[in-house]
Amino acid sequence: MVKVTIDREGCVSCGTCEDTCPGFFQLNTDDTLSQVIEKYRAEGRPDEGDAPEDLLPCINEAAELCPVQVIQVND
Ligand code: SF4
């Protein structure tokens, strides 16, 4: 399983990850920071998730495009 983490404190709420990979990332409606969608969260944590194989291409793309590089993909 590939772990994905978001350093939410560094997120600048640009929306790129959600636009690039809406099946995995979304902006939290309260604090506007990026989070993992509920379905893929690791132990309910919004900043950590288990990536399904089919979403890895867009997750990797989102990590590359994040302007502050706060998305880590650990495979
Ligand atoms: S791309 Fe990076 S800075 Fe932009 S919303 Fe996603 S995590 Fe935050």
Number of domains in the chain: 1
For the record, the structure tokens of 2 come out as: 């590939």
What are residue 32's phi and psi, to 5 degrees?
Answer: 65, 5
What CATH number should be reported for the domain holding residue 8? 3.30.70.20
pLDDT digit string (tens) for 2-54? 999 999 999 999 999 999 999 999 999 999 999 999 999 999 999 999 999 99
The 3-state secondary structure of the chain, one letter per residue? CEEEEECHHHCCCCCHHHHHCCCCEEECCCCCCEEECHHHEECCEEEEEEECHHHHHHHHHHHHHCCCCCEEEEC
The single-letter code of the amino acid at 16 is T
Q: Which pLDDT score is estimated for 1?
A: 82
Q: Which residues line ligand 1 (CB under 6 A)?
A: 6, 11-17, 34, 66-68, 70-71
Q: State which ligand 1 atom lies nearest to the alpha carbon of 69.
A: 2
Distance from the alpha carbon of residue 18 to the mean position of ligand 1, in angstroms: 8
The pTM of this model reads 0.96
Using CA positions, which residue lies closest to atom 2 of ligand 1?
Answer: 66
Containing domain of residue 41, as a range?
2-74
Q: Which pLDDT score is estimated for 74?
A: 93
